């Protein structure tokens, strides 16, 4: 596994070592020891999620104010633009975002630590998106940061209008969002 740092400390891309020949390819999509070495601590995942979405579906930007979730995300079919926003008030990058294209073709994964809002928009006709979480889903603690808050300024790379769930369309702007210390 190769670690590619982003502009926000703690958030990084994981690029697996892929071994291929005329028969196809092989790579480890998960290795506890290797991942813990990249993060610098033991990470315990408790839940795996599988999301299937169509082109221009935008999911997020979600986070949990209690039971915050670290997420290791990847695409197994299609392509997304994946976004994280730093919601840690004590961080020098509070309110900043980073985005990465994740696809079945590039096989990259993104580590989203606790304390961040997370979301993605589907760039392909259809996507299958997997993510491991460090805590269980707790709907009573889930919050949504407004996907198009001009204060955050995410540059979403899609054409037309996003397809949004009502709770995502009604997310809180950063100035009103519950955040982390």
Looking at the annotation, which residues are catalytic? 62, 131
Q: How far apart are CA 163 and CA 123, in angstroms?
A: 12
Residues 6+ apart with CB under 8 A from 147: 58, 60, 61, 119, 154, 156, 162, 164, 168, 169, 171
CA–CA dist 169, 181 (Å, integer): 26
Token code pair at residue 124 = 């392909």
CA atoms within 13 A on the CB side of 25: 11
């Amino acid at each position: 596994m190769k670690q590619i740092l982003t502009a926000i400390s703690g958030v990084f891309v994981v690029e697996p070592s892929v071994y291929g020949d005329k028969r196809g390819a092989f790579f480890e999509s998960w290795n506890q020891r290797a991942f813990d070495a990249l993060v610098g601590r033991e990470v315990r995942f408790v839940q795996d999620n599988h999301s299937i979405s169509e082109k221009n579906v935008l999911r997020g930007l979600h986070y949990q104010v209690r039971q915050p979730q670290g997420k290791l995300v990847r695409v197994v079919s299609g392509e997304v633009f994946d976004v994280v926003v730093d919601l840690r008030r004590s961080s020098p990058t509070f309110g900043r975002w980073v985005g990465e294209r994740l696809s079945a073709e590039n096989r990259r994964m993104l580590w989203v630590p606790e304390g961040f809002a997370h979301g993605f928009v589907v760039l392909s006709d259809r996507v299958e998106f997997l993510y491991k979480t460090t805590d269980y889903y707790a709907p009573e603690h889930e919050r949504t940061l407004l996907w198009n808050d001009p204060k955050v300024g995410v540059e979403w790379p899609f054409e037309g209008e996003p397809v949004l769930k009502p709770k995502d369309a009604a997310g809180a702007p950063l100035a009103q969002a519950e955040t982390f210390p």
